[in-house]
Chain A
Amino acid sequence: EAGVTQSPTHLIKTRGQQATLRCSPISGHTSVYWYQQALGLGLQFLLWYDEGEERNRGNFPPRFSGRQFPNYSSELNVNALELEDSALYLCASSLRPGQGVTYEQYFGPGTRLTVT
């Protein structure tokens, strides 16, 4: 069974540009989560998508946005890049959460975003 995949592996952008990161979940998983792992800041939750809708959002500015496609893959867009956006961006997927049930999140290898 294929795991969560992310592309690109590395991305170098200039301050002020836009970055687009992509994630394909494990087959059968409908939920996709995005996390930022910045040096010194640990792992921070960004966004959660399920069934094409944004379900939850972390404490990040609106220039961090995304979407989920009908095949459950997802895109994270970061507009007006700032130097502090440099980080490893991790995508995770899980089965559709049920009432009172949480399923494990499985992570992809990440996209390393460098803003210069």
Chain B
Amino acid sequence: AQTVTQSQPEMSVQEAETVTLSCTYDTSESDYYLFWYKQPPSRQMILVIRQEAYKQQNATENRFSVNFQKAAKSFSLKISDSQLGDAAMYFCAFSETSGSRLTFGEGTQLTVNP
């Protein structure tokens, strides 16, 4: 069974600065997908970024980028130029190919200080 671990229950960052959230996972699969979701106080889960394991290039979406280290089974999220609206719970998630469930980490609560 796959497991996803987020070792940072809480993180804080100053507005306009950069923060990195960590995620490690365990799987015996060679092909899979990784995601970062954010859950603001409204509780609506919002997809931030997605990474296919077969792609060596790290995914980037505007101010959000990942550092995907397949051998180390590590998948960190970097948020650049942090904004107050980035404050939320961030979840790392794993999915096998061909659909299937998302396995989530425990989450990291990000606070952005003005």
Contacts and interface: CB of A to CB of B under 8 A. Distances in A.
Are chains A and B native binding partners rather than an unrelated pairing? yes
Interface in B48-106: 50, 91, 95-106
Interface residues on B, range: 20 to 34
B41 to A, nearest CB: 12
A42 B106 contact: yes
A45 B103 contact: yes
Contacts of A101: 97-98
A20 B85 CA distance: 34
Interface string A3-43: 00000000000000000000000000001010100000011
B8 to A, nearest CB: 15
B98 A98 contact: yes
A56 B101 contact: yes
Interface in B19-39: 31, 33, 35, 37
